[in-house]
Amino acid sequence: MYVVIKKNSDLGKIQLLKQRIEQMDCKVVEISDREQIKIGIFTKNIQEIVSKLRKEEIIEKIVQIDSPFRFSSKEFKESETIIEVKGRKIGAGNLVVIGGPCSIESREMIFDIAKTVKEVGGEFLRGGAFKPRTSPYDFQGLGEIGLKYMREACDRYELVMVTEVMDTKDIELVGKYTDIFQVGARNMQNFSLLKELGKVKKPVLLKRGLSATLKEFLMAAEYIVAHGNYEVILCERGIRTFESATRNTVDINGIAYLKSKTHFPIIIDASHGTGIRELVEPVTLGALLAGADGAMLEVHKNPECAYSDREQTLNYEQFRQCVEKIKKTMEFKESLKCI
């Protein structure tokens, strides 16, 4: 449920109201949505809270949310959420390109890629220090030293850092370095992890599970929200289907569907989504036009020598060209709104 605050209400009164609601043993979230201030209230005792709030002077109306994904839904917040990290904005038409390697392989390597990402106008650097690999015998990532290298590269080139955290026990460590936590597809329903990430003060980029329904995806986002973190970025990275010509199947329907159901920004990762270098650009552009707010791209100086994901990683020139077209596509998408 949520309450809409009357226009021009005194800010101090709003703060007092929030405190009173928290004293009723509820968590609250305050958002601004199309000229309105709304206070979302997490509670199991809806009737009780409603009756207590009925006489509050600054409340315009009290609304119960039907959608199962409650505070992630457009029912709660109609306007698109913009997530700010170090001055960059994600969502609502802002250009978002998250580039970087699958795995951090060395200090030199991550610096070189960071430089390239910056040059072409990407503002976000991705890279894995803890890698979820199918086989226990494959390279598992550099660990903390990788995080350090990446942090340095981000500081040097003024990029926002995005890296995966795989386990609740690593949240503190990874949080010392990263700007945005990534939750991998295999962990999308690792509810313990989601709950703990609900308590951090940094955005979470949540990848869709390989066979997660769209409803489950939004519910996973809602886990983070319900535990206190209202900065969620959804990432479509392809689902598992019978088709084997491509690594996964990017769910373009899903992007358009999510856009109609949630206010959170959506990122397309066509590198994992297709698994084929040549398809990354067309699928990224198509996904953006269908509703995605930004793109994640795997890039490497020499993709054929990468430790992992060789077939799907762009080289620098391909990356540059793809980002160029992403910019044009974002502009074109904006222009379509006037039709």
DSSP 206: E
Residues 252-271, interacting with a second copy (CB under 8 A): 252-257, 259-260
The partner residues of 2 in beta bridges, in order of sequence, read 40, 63
Decide if residue 276 touches a second copy (CB under 8 A).
Answer: yes
Which residue from 27, 88, 107, 227 is in contact with a second copy, where contact means CB under 8 A?
A: 227
Residues 143-162, interacting with a second copy (CB under 8 A): none
As to burial, measured by CB atoms within 10 angstroms (0-12 exposed, 13-18 middle, 19+ buried), residue 292 is buried
Decide if residue 282 touches a second copy (CB under 8 A).
Answer: yes
Cα angle, residue 259 at apex, residues 253 and 265 outer, rounded to 5°: 120
Decide if residue 134 touches a second copy (CB under 8 A).
Answer: yes
Q: How many CB atoms lie within 10 A of CB 244?
A: 6
Residues 229-248, interacting with a second copy (CB under 8 A): 238-246, 248
Complete DSSP assignment for 298-321: EB-SSGGG-SS-GGG-B-HHHHHH
Residues 91-130, interacting with a second copy (CB under 8 A): none
In the complex with a second copy, which residue's Cβ is closer, 53 or 185? 185
- Stretch touching a second copy by CB under 8 A, among 6-14, 146-154, 222-230, 294-302: 222-230
As to burial, measured by CB atoms within 10 angstroms (0-12 exposed, 13-18 middle, 19+ buried), residue 111 is middle
- Stretch touching a second copy by CB under 8 A, among 102-110, 143-151, 155-163, 220-228: 220-228
Hey, is 128 helix, strand or coil? Answer: strand
DSSP 35: T
CB of 237 to a second copy, least distance (A): 12
Decide if residue 319 touches a second copy (CB under 8 A).
Answer: no
Which residue from 86, 169, 176, 199 is in contact with a second copy, where contact means CB under 8 A?
A: 169
Decide if residue 64 touches a second copy (CB under 8 A).
Answer: no
- Report whether 236 contacts 244 (CB < 8 A): no
Cα angle, residue 125 at apex, residues 213 and 29 outer, rounded to 5°: 55
Which residue from 116, 190, 229, 312 is in contact with a second copy, where contact means CB under 8 A?
A: 190
DSSP 211: T
Mask for 287-316, x = binds a second copy (CB under 8 A): xxxxx-------------------------
CA–CA separation, 187 and 167 (whole Å): 9
Decide if residue 67 touches a second copy (CB under 8 A).
Answer: no
Amino acid at site 320: R
Decide if residue 46 touches a second copy (CB under 8 A).
Answer: no
CB of 270 to a second copy, least distance (A): 8
CB of 281 to a second copy, least distance (A): 8
In the complex with a second copy, which residue's Cβ is closer, 99 or 157? 99
Q: How many CB atoms lie within 10 A of CB 55?
A: 7
